[in-house]
A and B are shown apart, each in its own frame.
Chain A
């Protein structure tokens, strides 16, 4: 479900915008909601694809969000018109099923990152996304070695530009069968071996609740290796409401207690009025 939506959006927006659009004159946003700031919140573009990006950024700024997740380079300038940034960029880091665990993908990813990471730095994009790829019969230890090799090639680019490469943790139980980076322990073992302040995990709490549970303890134990978070109600990946099993404000308190300085991006598909649901999630996680 998520890969489908995300994939469709990427194709659409990449096709629509061949080159980086120059920013139009900034719009005067109403005074935004003041947030406590202990958790810097963001939102993934995908579930709100029907709202034009400019309108979406304006609404997000007004509700006290700090950024937009999962924009292609062509869109990186847009949130800045509204005082936001793109908090997690697509920069050619492969796809969910084809990523860093295959050496034959490394050259293309390196080329893309050499081109896009300097651009990310220029647009204040703090993180760019990558993936392990699927197993396809490959043992986890060999996949880890391949990921480590790739990330070691890529990390000087990230370090030189102060941009963090984030490898996403996803569930292989329901939504991304065969995805390799599906457990925190495996992801952390890769991060430890690469050992860079600019190579981290994207801990998707929706996916990890499905795979592992034990959220607060896992996050707190491994916070050194986590660069970014995603949310989403469990089960179903809808609103963070009282019909799902994760107490998001409790988890946010656990994250805040670690002194985490990165972003938490909402990534759920609203079933009710999208911006009302988003606003409720932002209020809930503003602990």
Chain B
């Protein structure tokens, strides 16, 4: 449940384990059965870190079988893996800082610019649609100064994104429970930054789980701000578990609202299953296939 800890732990582990980009080891994938046909109104993905006990290849294979289109939150050296199964990495880690330290501090910009300059061309090559970044925590900084700094940082990297057709996404997270002091914790603040940067390749990652905790008013907020949203995450509220009938968000309703906005990106499931993981994931994919 402690998403921050888990996600961070995962990055460190995998980053340490794999120093360089591994080349795809031939096409050793088994011939998979025909995947479940999906309506395609919502292209669905899944966050890797919620299924850590599975080998990435196994997650990709199972994901492809159930009609997912992508895997979220893979490191650079893993970006080629989903491609063996007809998937892509929909949201890549490309050195965009971490939740606590990122775009709202000028001293982080050089490092992020350098990483994006190196990794965004690679993302384009691997068909990675989006790369993630964060505001960072407030640490006493006023929101307007943080916004100014994020705008400076994003203006430095947007041309790289535009030149390669990859979208940089700044994630919205809740600061009420899971990520105390995180700055990009309200849609209005995030949208003000996006408007100022004004690039088709710099968007918000609207995490529905986090925004239900912070704001509610999901469909209206999404539909009003859809031009500034590049990606979505899910997760049952409260608890960030299955999208089942013990939680308060009606996910198929939200998905219908997203479809109505003509959104063309991905929706990635990011919940920690408490029951059989692949069964829970499959149920979420069925539910959101509106």
Question: A249 to B253, alpha carbons, bound, how many Å?
Answer: 14
A140–chain B nearest beta-carbon distance, Å:
19
In the complex the two chains form, is A245's CB within 8 Å of B250's CB?
yes
Residues of A within 8 A of B (CB): 173, 208-217, 234-235, 242-251, 253-254
In the complex the two chains form, is A209's CB within 8 Å of B245's CB?
no
Chain B contacts for A208, CB-based, 8 A: 216
A-B contact pairs, 5 of them (CB 8 A): A208-B216, A213-B218, A242-B253, A245-B218, A250-B245
Chain B contacts for A210, CB-based, 8 A: 216-217, 220
Question: A209 to B214, alpha carbons, bound, how many Å?
Answer: 11
Given A242-B250, A245-B250, A251-B248, are A213 and B213 neighbors across the interface (CB < 8 Å)?
A: yes
B284–chain A nearest beta-carbon distance, Å:
13
User: Is B35 interfacial (CB 8 A cutoff)?
Assistant: no
In the complex the two chains form, is A235's CB within 8 Å of B249's CB?
no
Ranked nearest first, the 6 interchain pairs of A and B with the lowest CB-CB distance are A213-B216, A247-B250, A209-B216, A213-B212, A245-B218, A215-B248
Among A213, A246, A251, A253, contact of B214 (Cβ-Cβ < 8 Å): A213
Question: A235 to B252, alpha carbons, bound, how many Å?
Answer: 14
Question: A200 to B256, alpha carbons, bound, how many Å?
Answer: 36
In the complex the two chains form, is A216's CB within 8 Å of B237's CB?
yes
In the complex the two chains form, is A253's CB within 8 Å of B256's CB?
no
User: Is B246 interfacial (CB 8 A cutoff)?
Assistant: yes
In the complex the two chains form, is A211's CB within 8 Å of B220's CB?
no
Question: A249 to B250, alpha carbons, bound, how many Å?
Answer: 10
In the complex the two chains form, is A249's CB within 8 Å of B216's CB?
no
Chain A contacts for B213, CB-based, 8 A: 213-214, 217
Chain A contacts for B237, CB-based, 8 A: 213-216
> In the complex, which residue of chain B has the Cβ closest to the Cβ of A171?
B217
Give the total of B residues in contact with A, Cβ under 8 Å: 26
Chain B contacts for A254, CB-based, 8 A: 246, 248
Question: A253 to B74, alpha carbons, bound, how many Å?
Answer: 36
Chain A contacts for B220, CB-based, 8 A: 210, 235
A191–chain B nearest beta-carbon distance, Å:
21
Chain B contacts for A215, CB-based, 8 A: 216, 237, 248
User: Is B219 interfacial (CB 8 A cutoff)?
Assistant: yes
Most buried by A among B211, B237, B245, B253: B253
User: Is B165 interfacial (CB 8 A cutoff)?
Assistant: no
Among B214, B215, B248, B257, contact of A247 (Cβ-Cβ < 8 Å): B248
Question: A210 to B176, alpha carbons, bound, how many Å?
Answer: 17
User: Is B56 interfacial (CB 8 A cutoff)?
Assistant: no
In the complex the two chains form, is B250's CB within 8 Å of A246's CB?
yes
Among B211, B250, B256, contact of A213 (Cβ-Cβ < 8 Å): B211
Given A243-B253, A250-B245, A251-B248, are A216 and B216 neighbors across the interface (CB < 8 Å)?
A: no
In the complex the two chains form, is B250's CB within 8 Å of A244's CB?
yes
Besides A213-B237, A243-B253, A247-B250, 12 more A-B contacts (Cβ < 8 Å) are A210-B217, A212-B216, A214-B238, A216-B238, A217-B213, A242-B256, A243-B256, A244-B219, A244-B250, A245-B219, A246-B253, A247-B249
User: Is B280 interfacial (CB 8 A cutoff)?
Assistant: no
Question: A208 to B248, alpha carbons, bound, how many Å?
Answer: 13
B137–chain A nearest beta-carbon distance, Å:
21
Chain B contacts for A249, CB-based, 8 A: 245
Chain B contacts for A251, CB-based, 8 A: 248
